Amino acid sequence: MDPTIAVDDVAPIAILMDELRSEDVQLRLNAIHSIPTIALALGPDRARDELIPFLQDSVDDEDEVLLALAEVLGRNFEEYVGGKEYAHLVLGPLENLCAVEETLVRDKAAESITKLAAVLSQAQLETYYIPLLKRLTPGEWFTSRTSSAALYPAVYPKVSPAIQDDLRKGFGALVSDDTPMVRRAAAKWLGPLLAHFAQPHIITDGLPLYRRLQTDDQDSVRLLTVEDLIALAKRMTPAEVKEQLLKQIRHTVGDKSWRVRYMAATHFNELAEAVGVELVREELIGHYVQLLKDNEAEVRTAAAGQVPGFSKLLDREVILARIVPCVRDLSQDSSQHVRAALANQINGLAPLLGKQPTIENLLPLFLQLLKDDFPEVRLNIISKLETVNTVIGIEFLSDSLLPAIVELAEDKSWRVRQAIIEYIPLLANQLGKPFFDEQLGNLCMSWLGDTVFSIREAATHNLRKLTEVFGVDWARTTIVPKVINMGQHPNYLFRMTTVQALTTISPSLNLDIVRSDVIEPLLILAGDPIPNIRFNVSKALEVIAVSYGATPDGREFVHQRVVPVLEHQKNDQDADVRYFAARALQKSLAL
């Protein structure tokens, strides 16, 4: 609805009611999205007196519509009812949405309520928000109790100590709830709530809440307590952690459920940083080694991803004695996913160990992973070689690197071939021009003839990036002649690739090279019998004109060599050629 329409001319609430009762879900959705406009047209007084009560009474049974309503009400809706002074009125409709069955709707409603908490005054919070929380927390249905857990962290730091005492007791009821879904919600939101506890209450209240959840009989609850453990550790001194949490850390790392151990492995670096270096070296390193040797591949995969981050907290001697042997075992792991995760992270150990220990301990593992049967393992090693290169130099890897690159370049999966193409410019920078020209130059050109279009397209972009790495003189002698030779191939796909390659690399060259080497082959292809090639030439000429036509010398070149060809193509028998030629001509003449 147009907000400029006078309220007297329409009956917004009646229209909204009719649309919300429609059997057409899309119409009801449109009505929900128009609520801010209707509120604006009504004005703050009528929005408070008519719109809010209507929204509070209308709970649609379509989850999609309810989700949209929860989202709309959380989008600064208090502005439509008179500002912050009346923001508490929006809580009513959102409270109803916190009790519906669909999880997405409840989560969005809770999110919108926490946004409102940021604009409510302490008086409003204590008069309206806290009673809402006290109604939801002991609610008859688990849905409202689940939603209530998300509402505690936003309000806790803003109310008086006496009310904070009540809130801790209320959250304790959620932690002990009979329904697993409620306890899961409590475990999810305990960490954010702990961040607001006064220091004395961390031990007296926060720790018992965490321990209750950490010993829950449902692993879906226990796995969420890993982040609560980190939140607790951040608020405790190392001595308190040692006294109060070591037992829980051991239980979590050794939990009978692999999903809990997986979460522990995933967040292990955060936990290590929270407990401090001393405890890491005394206690956590043993637990980490335990995760690296876990009997579940998923846990080992997660732990492998933490290797360099955890190792930063250790001395070089400890890394060599405790971490490197585990890394050596993981490099031969039976799971390809474990090896891939390790290959993605193992390079991060090189700066921590230094040149000689890296050569002695990690280099054999790099070379082994470069020969792995699984393409992703080889790709992960190649993609992160820059870190290793800065420590030991690429010459130690080049002998094994080349076979791995060639094998990946010829992989039967085009996605693998495309991935290795994307890493070529990085490798070129590390390997240097002579090695690249001798070993990889022909390989890069061969991708231009690949049967898959995406590979040919990636190969052209690869040439442009290589030009930026090695310079235009290198491109003139190495790339441009080979690309132009493809323009004489009897297969039209090769000629098409020539046009596309020249289009892509031309902006990275200079006017002299374009004038002497590039333009003539393009003009010849402008007369190709295949229309697709002709209109791609039009596109190429447009790119050249835009790239070089800004200078007087460039403008003269465009008007002498480019414009006449486009004038001719403008009258081509093919409609697509005429269209692209006319567009390119317009841009060329405008220079």
Q: What is the pLDDT of residues 516-548, one digit of tens each?
A: 999 999 999 999 999 999 999 999 999 999 999
Question: Which distant-in-sequence residues (6+ apart) come within 8 Å of 388 by Cβ?
Answer: 347, 350, 358, 362, 366, 397
Position 232 scores a pLDDT of 93
Q: Which two tokens stand for residue 176?
A: 């002990």
Angstrom distance (rounded) from CA 201 to CA 304: 36
Determine the pLDDT at residue 230: 95
- CA torsion, ordered 445, 449, 452, 453, to nearest 10 deg: 80
CA–CA dist 230, 252 (Å, integer): 12
CA angle, 341 as apex, 336 and 343 as ends, to 5°?
A: 90
- Element housing 326 (H / E): helix 324-330
Q: What are the tens digits of pLDDT across the range 274-314?
A: 998 889 988 899 999 999 999 999 999 999 999 999 999 99
**Contact (CB, 8 A) for 311 and 277:** no
End-to-end CA distance of the chain: 45
Q: In this structure, what token pair is assigned to residue 369? A: 């992973």
Joined tokens for residue 164 = 């904070």
pTM of the model: 0.75
CB-count burial class (<10 Å; 0-12, 13-18, 19+) for 256 = exposed
116 neighbors 128 (Cβ within 8 angstroms): no
Residue 343's nearest CA partner among 291, 318, 395, 380 is 380
* Spacing of C-alpha 545 from chain mean position: 37
The C-alpha atoms of residue 226 and residue 127 are separated, in whole angstroms, by: 35
> Tens of pLDDT along the chain (591 residues)?
344 444 444 455 666 666 666 666 777 788 788 888 888 888 888 888 888 888 887 666 678 888 888 888 888 888 888 888 888 888 888 998 898 888 999 999 999 999 999 988 989 898 999 999 999 999 888 999 999 999 999 999 998 999 999 999 999 999 999 999 999 999 999 999 999 999 999 999 999 999 999 999 999 999 999 999 999 999 999 899 988 999 999 999 999 999 999 999 999 999 999 998 889 988 899 999 999 999 999 999 999 999 999 999 999 999 999 999 999 999 999 999 999 999 999 999 999 998 899 888 988 898 888 888 888 898 888 777 777 777 877 776 677 677 777 787 888 888 888 888 887 887 787 777 887 888 788 888 888 888 888 888 898 998 999 998 899 999 998 889 989 988 888 988 889 999 999 999 999 999 999 999 999 999 999 999 999 999 999 999 999 999 998 889 989 999 999 999 999 999 999 999 999 999 999 988 887
Closest CA to 132 of 144, 118, 120: 144
With b for 16 or more beta-carbon neighbours within 10 A and e for fewer, the 365-391 pattern comes to bbbbbbebeebbbbbbbbbbbeebbeb
Residue pLDDT, tens place only, 171-196: 999 999 999 999 999 999 999 999 99
